[in-house]
């Protein structure tokens, strides 16, 4: 059992995502399909950029991105899987025993103390002890349930915390990925899913710059924050942060 940090890999994309989007979009207006399937990468990129600006977003759905994510908490993936237009495969807490689960420690606990019975304890240490205690309880309960794999794991897991590490594959088409990023890069979004979204954006920008170089939190596309009183008030900072020079 140990604390972990997120790892995000872009496992697969549609080969030549920009060419694929350009070919699909051009088909809509093509009297002749000659050369349609052989898109030049640089001009496809420019075309896709234009398409995006014009608000013609459905051809963008033809490009797909599969990420492998590990070192994240169940609290994070519970939020991730709310995005319904994506596909997921997550490591099971039934098929896989979690007697020595790894966990995510919220960085904000660093430097804090927990007061208990007149004694101060370092909050990170207290958190680790709680994880160890839950791991021990899980193992004891699993034993009480006969340590029979799937059938005992599925009940013992009820004591596992939200901090429990998990691994997940997620596939999104580019349009859904933009929507996800716009929501989860927002400063109001929770820190862990935001940090994963940052990593996904960096990878998507490398794979498909003509689309993702222009993506950031939703305020970027709105030209300001649509959240009213809930705004973080940092629109200019966000524009600066997410601009590609």
In whole angstroms, how close is the CB of 229 to ligand FAD at the nearest point? 14
In whole angstroms, how close is the CB of 58 to ligand FAD at the nearest point? 13
Give Cβ neighbours of residue 55 (< 8 Å, ≥ 6 apart): none
175 is known as an active-site residue: no
Contact 85, 171 (CB under 8 A): no
Give Cβ neighbours of residue 68 (< 8 Å, ≥ 6 apart): 8, 9, 11, 167, 168, 169
175 binding ligand FAD? (CB under 6 A): no
Give Cβ neighbours of residue 121 (< 8 Å, ≥ 6 apart): 113, 114
41 binding ligand FAD? (CB under 6 A): no
In whole angstroms, how close is the CB of 38 to ligand FAD at the nearest point? 33
Indicate which single residue of 41, 46, 78, 82 sits in contact with ligand FAD (rule: CB under 6 A): 82
Q: Per the residue annotation, which of 108, 184, 194, 234 is the catalytic one?
A: 184
**Nearest-5° Cα angle at 200, 209 to 7:** 140
Of residues 183 through 202, those in contact with ligand FAD by CB under 6 A are 183-184, 186, 188-189
Indicate which single residue of 7, 85, 202, 244 sits in contact with ligand FAD (rule: CB under 6 A): 85
DSSP state of 152: H
In whole angstroms, how close is the CB of 238 to ligand FAD at the nearest point? 14
Contact 205, 10 (CB under 8 A): no
Binding site for ligand FAD (CB under 6 A): 82-85, 176, 179, 183-184, 186, 188-189
Catalytic residues: 184
């Amino acid at each position: 059992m140990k604390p972990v940090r997120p790892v995000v890999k872009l496992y697969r994309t549609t080969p030549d995502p920009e060419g694929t989007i350009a070919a699909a979009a051009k088909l809509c207006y093509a009297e002749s399909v000659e050369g349609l399937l052989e898109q030049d990468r640089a001009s496809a990129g420019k075309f896709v950029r234009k398409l995006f600006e014009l608000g013609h977003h459905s051809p963008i759905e033809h490009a797909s991105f599969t990420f492998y994510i590990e070192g994240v908490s169940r609290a994070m993936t519970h939020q991730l899987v709310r995005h319904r237009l994506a596909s997921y495969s997550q490591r099971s807490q039934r098929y896989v025993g979690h007697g020595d689960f790894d966990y995510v420690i919220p960085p904000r606990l660093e430097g804090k103390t927990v007061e208990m019975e007149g004694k101060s304890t370092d909050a990170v240490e207290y958190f680790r002890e709680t994880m160890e205690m839950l791991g021990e309880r899980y193992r004891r309960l699993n034993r009480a349930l006969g340590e029979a794999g799937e059938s005992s794991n599925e009940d013992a897991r009820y004591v596992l915390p939200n901090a429990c590490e998990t691994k997940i594959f997620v596939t999104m088409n580019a349009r859904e990925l933009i929507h996800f990023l716009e929501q989860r890069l927002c400063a109001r979004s929770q820190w862990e899913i935001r940090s994963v979204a940052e990593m996904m954006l960096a990878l998507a920008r490398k794979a498909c710059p003509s689309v993702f170089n222009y993506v950031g939190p939703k305020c970027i596309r709105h030209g300001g924050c649509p959240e009213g009183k809930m705004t973080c008030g940092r629109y200019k900072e966000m524009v600066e942060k997410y601009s590609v020079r």
